[in-house]
Amino acid sequence: MCAAPLIVTTMAESTDNCVGVVLAGGLARRMGGGDKSLLALAERPLLAHVIERAEPQVGRLILNANGDPGRFASFGLPVVADVVEGFAGPLAGILTGLEWALDHVPGAAWMASFTGDAPFLARNLVARLAQAVEEGSADLACATSGGRTHPVFGLWPVRLAKDLRRALVDEGERKIDAWTASHRIVHVDFPCLPHDPFFNVNRPEDLAEAERLFAATDGAAAIDGLMAGPRRRG
C-alpha cells in the first residue's frame, strides 16, 4: 500500500497533512547535562527559535521529551515522552511522533522531524523534502548540507510506524541510517549560505558560535531572505 501523496505546488508551501515533532530528548552530555534546548540564544531559548521556524511548516507540532513535561509548558505544545523504554536515541523520537500522529491526527499521512538545538533550520525544509519525495517516488527524505547527512531532519510516512517499531523494539535497531537504508530514501541538499541551516548546539563553544552567527545575520534575516517561503497563517 502506497503512502498518501504529499503534494506541494511550490517549494515553500506548507502542508496540513503533516505532523511535526521537535526532538528534545537528548542527554546533552557535552553540555553538562540538562535540557540544552532551554539554553538562551539572543535572550530566547534555543527551542523558541526552532518552534518559530518549524511550526509554520506543519499542520500540528509536538515536542518529544522525557521527564517532567511542565518545564516546557510555556511553549504551548503537546509534550510526548518516548513510546519505548530506555534511552533509544533519535529513532525513539521518530517512532513517538509517528504513533502520536496515528492516534491524534487521523488525516496525517506524513511526519517531519526537527531537533531542539538547531536554531537556524531552513524555513522551507518540509516543502523541499516533500517535493523530493513526490518527484523521486520515494518513501521518505532527509536533509544534507556541506557534504553531511542530517537524518534527524527528515520527512517520514506515517504508514511506516509499525515497521519502525518492529526494527526498534524487536530487532534492537538504533541507527537511523541503517533503518532508512531499507526504504526508498531521497536526500535533499541545502546550501550553507550564509551558514549551515542545520548548525546545532552540542558544546558550550557551539552556543557562543550561534550567538555570533545570529548577530552577524541580524537575527538570521539573511537566511530568511535566501530560504524562507510564505508563512502558513492560523
State the cell numbers at 188.
Answer: 535533499
How much is the pLDDT for 26?
Answer: 54
How much is the pLDDT for 153?
Answer: 98
133, amino acid identity: V
How much is the pLDDT for 16?
Answer: 77
Ordered by start, the domain boundaries in the chain are 18-227
- Residue-wise pLDDT tens digits, 161-210: 999 999 999 999 999 999 999 999 999 999 998 889 999 999 999 999 99
State the cell numbers at 194.
Answer: 550564509
> Phi and psi of 156, rounded to 5°?
-125, 135
Is residue 187 a contact partner of residue 144, using CB atoms and an 8 Å limit? yes
Q: Which H/E stretch holds residue 36? A: none
Q: Within 10 A of 171 (CB to CB), how many other CB atoms are there?
A: 10
Q: State the SS3 of 102-169.
A: HHHCCCCCEEEEEECCCCCCCCCHHHHHHHHHHHHCCCEEEEEECCEEEEEEEEEEHHHHHHHHHHHH
Category of 89 on φ-ψ map: left (φ > 0), alpha (ψ -120 to 50) or beta: left
Angstrom distance (rounded) from CA 144 to CA 146: 7
Closest CA to 117 of 148, 92, 150, 95: 150
CA dihedral 74, 32, 83, 46 (to 10 degrees): 40
The architecture of the domain spanning 18-227 is Alpha-Beta Complex (3.90)
How much is the pLDDT for 218?
Answer: 57
Angstrom distance (rounded) from CA 11 to CA 132: 10
Under-50 pLDDT residues of the chain: 1-14, 28-32, 219-220, 222-234
How much is the pLDDT for 14?
Answer: 43
